[in-house]
Amino acid sequence: MWIQKEITLKSRGKGFHLITDEILNNLPELREIKIGLISILLKHTSASLTINENADPDVRSDMKKYFDELVPENKKYFEHISEGADDMPAHIKTSLLGNTLTIPITNGKLNLGTWQGLYLCEHRNYGGNRKLLITINGES
pLDDT at position 99 is 98
Number of C-beta neighbours around residue 27 at 10 A? 17
The alpha carbon of 103 is separated from its chain's Cα centroid by a whole number of angstroms, namely 13
pLDDT at position 72 is 97
**Do 42 and 99 meet the contact criterion of CB atoms below 8 Å apart?**
yes
Rounded CA gap, 9 and 23, in Å? Answer: 8
Bridge partners for 110 per DSSP: 105
Rounded CA gap, 76 and 2, in Å? Answer: 47
Across the beta sheet with 35-42, what order do the strands follow? 2-9, 130-139, 35-42, 100-106, 109-110
Rounded CA gap, 122 and 124, in Å? Answer: 6
Residue 130: band (very low, low, confident or very high) from pLDDT cuts 50, 70, 90: very high
Residue 11: band (very low, low, confident or very high) from pLDDT cuts 50, 70, 90: very high
**Do 103 and 110 meet the contact criterion of CB atoms below 8 Å apart?**
yes
pLDDT in tens, 43-91: 999 999 999 999 999 999 999 999 999 999 999 999 999 899 999 999 9
pTM of the complete model:
0.95
What type of residue is 132?
L
